[in-house]
A and B are shown apart, each in its own frame.
Chain A
Amino acid sequence: GENVEQHPSTLSVQEGDSAVIKCTYSDSASNYFPWYKQELGKGPQLIIDIRSNVGEKKDQRIAVTLNKTAKHFSLHITETQPEDSAVYFCAPKGGSYIPTFGRGTSLIVHP
């Protein structure tokens, strides 16, 4: 099965700073790389994803970068705001339709 590691487990930043969360995976057949955000009292929701034929994708303040050779992808959040405070999960998908979730990163944005 896929081994997924996510770092850091906790990230504390000041409002306006950037935040970067990294996810490493083991399955070289992985072809879909999403990031989910889980707010308090809710289930995780997809915020951005990337496929294996693309190196970077941006959506306003968030971006995902993929390095297939090194088997890692990262979530970048710029100009962080208090509402970005949440738990973020990576969930790379290999040959099966079933993803493997990372352990989560708790992002705290201080006003």
Chain B
Amino acid sequence: ETGVTQTPRHLVMGMTNKKSLKCEQHLGHNAMYWYKQSAKKPLELMFVYNFKEQTENNSVPSRFSPECPNSSHLFLHLHTLQPEDSALYLCASSPSGGQSSYEQYFGPGTRLTVT
């Protein structure tokens, strides 16, 4: 619907597992974002990529490792997560230059449960 897709939509993983979240957009945007949304907490910006270069890392633990191979794809690699990492992980994209509106387009999110 929004032009941003995320897979998988739901993920259950143990603390010793390694998994990856995928995000894809074909809107021609140059900036892509990962957010974490926990219950009763605000949206937390995790990482920002602009033209495939990481421009923001908001003190995210190293057990979260982002990858942006091109402007259309964004990954979040997960390993040795903790139960408190259980949350909805949202990907977004936006234009990043000129006089554009900077509206963010969000994917539906991946609901992650760490057991």
Chain A positions near chain B (C-beta within 8 angstroms) = 32, 34, 36, 41-46, 49, 89, 91, 93, 97-99, 101-104
Whole-angstrom CA separation of A89 from B37 in the bound complex: 13
> From DSSP, what is the main secondary structure of chain B's interface residues?
loop
The contact size tier of chain B is 20 to 34
A100 to chain B minimum Cβ distance, whole angstroms, is: 8
Contact check, A97 vs B95: say whether CB atoms are below 8 A apart.
Answer: yes
Q: Does B78 contact A (CB under 8 A)?
A: no
Chain B positions near chain A (C-beta within 8 angstroms) = 2, 4, 31, 33, 42-43, 45, 48, 50, 56, 90, 92, 94-97, 101-104, 106-109
User: Can you list 24 residue pairs at the A/B interface with Cβ under 8 Å?
Assistant: A34-B103, A36-B104, A42-B109, A43-B2, A43-B90, A43-B106, A43-B108, A44-B90, A44-B104, A46-B103, A49-B101, A89-B43, A91-B104, A93-B102, A97-B94, A97-B96, A97-B97, A97-B102, A98-B48, A99-B104, A101-B42, A101-B45, A103-B42, A104-B43
B28 to chain A minimum Cβ distance, whole angstroms, is: 15
Whole-angstrom CA separation of A102 from B45 in the bound complex: 12
> From DSSP, what is the main secondary structure of chain A's interface residues?
loop
Nearest residue (CB) in B for A97 is: B96
Whole-angstrom CA separation of A42 from B110 in the bound complex: 10
Contact check, B109 vs A98: say whether CB atoms are below 8 A apart.
Answer: no
Contact check, A104 vs B92: say whether CB atoms are below 8 A apart.
Answer: no
